[in-house]
């Protein structure tokens, strides 16, 4: 249960900002998501395409089941995205280290690194969800195969 003091503080804080109000502020704000180009749909570089292909082969193997192939595709895409975001985060941290002695540039670099870390957290979450889905699809197929094998041996015994 929220105390009266906490509820009042929440109302006051909520009233302070409701986002950009001017056209200029709205235009600037609309560009935040694409500033780092980490939230855009991915177009693979050649190395990322190679990584994706290897992961697809690893995740789906020779399995032709559509559910596994779809889960493998989502998992491979999420893993490549996670790697891309991780690389951007590491690059931002290196950039911050290089400009450590320049306070204004250092502050901007640290803010960029913090933004990358937030994207990295989201990408990791998507990767975990995709990996879980792939695991569940594989378990489902394994169970189906096991029950089919058990049914065929029962027919031979009878």
pLDDT by residue (tens digit) across 14-29? Answer: 777 677 788 888 887 7
| Residue 107 placed within a domain | yes
Domain for residue 120, yes or no? yes
Q: Which among 86, 94, 123, 87 is positioned nearest to 110, based on CA atoms?
A: 94
pLDDT at 63: 72
pLDDT in tens, 31-75: 765 666 666 667 888 998 999 999 999 998 877 788 889 999 999
The pLDDT value recorded for residue 157 is: 47
pLDDT of the residue at 41: 67
How many structural domains compose the chain?
1
| pLDDT for the residue numbered 130 | 93
Tokens in use for 83?
Answer: 């790697």
Predicted local distance difference test score (pLDDT) of residue 9: 87
CA distances from 58 to 54, 69, 89 (A): 6, 11, 26
What is the domain-level CATH number for residue 52?
Answer: 1.20.120
Could you give the percent of the chain with pLDDT greater than 70?
86
In a domain, 25, yes or no: no
SS3 call for 148:
helix
Residues 148-157 have pLDDT tens digits of 777 655 554 4
How many other C-beta atoms are found inside a 10 Å radius of the C-beta of residue 7? Answer: 11
Q: What is the pTM of this model?
A: 0.65
* pLDDT at res. 34: 63
Using the Cα atoms of residue 76, residue 80, residue 85 and residue 89 in order, give the sign of their dihedral. positive
Can you give the residue range of the structural domain that contains 66?
44-145
Specify if 97 maps to a domain: yes
């Amino acid at each position: 249960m929220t105390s009266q003091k906490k509820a009042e503080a929440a109302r006051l804080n909520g009233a302070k900002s409701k986002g950009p109000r001017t056209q200029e502020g709205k235009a600037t704000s609309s560009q935040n998501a694409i500033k780092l180009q980490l939230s855009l749909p991915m177009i693979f570089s050649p190395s990322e395409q190679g990584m994706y292909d290897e992961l697809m082969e690893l995740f789906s193997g020779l399995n032709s089941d559509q559910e596994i192939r779809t889960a493998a595709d989502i998992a491979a895409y999420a893993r490549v995205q996670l790697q891309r975001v991780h690389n951007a985060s590491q690059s931002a941290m290196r950039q911050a280290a290089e400009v450590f002695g320049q306070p204004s540039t250092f502050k901007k670099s640290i803010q960029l690194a913090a933004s990358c870390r937030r994207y990295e957290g989201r990408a990791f979450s998507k990767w975990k969800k995709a990996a879980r889905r792939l695991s569940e699809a594989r378990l489902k197929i394994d169970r189906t195969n096991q029950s089919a094998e058990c049914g065929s041996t029962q027919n031979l015994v009878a």
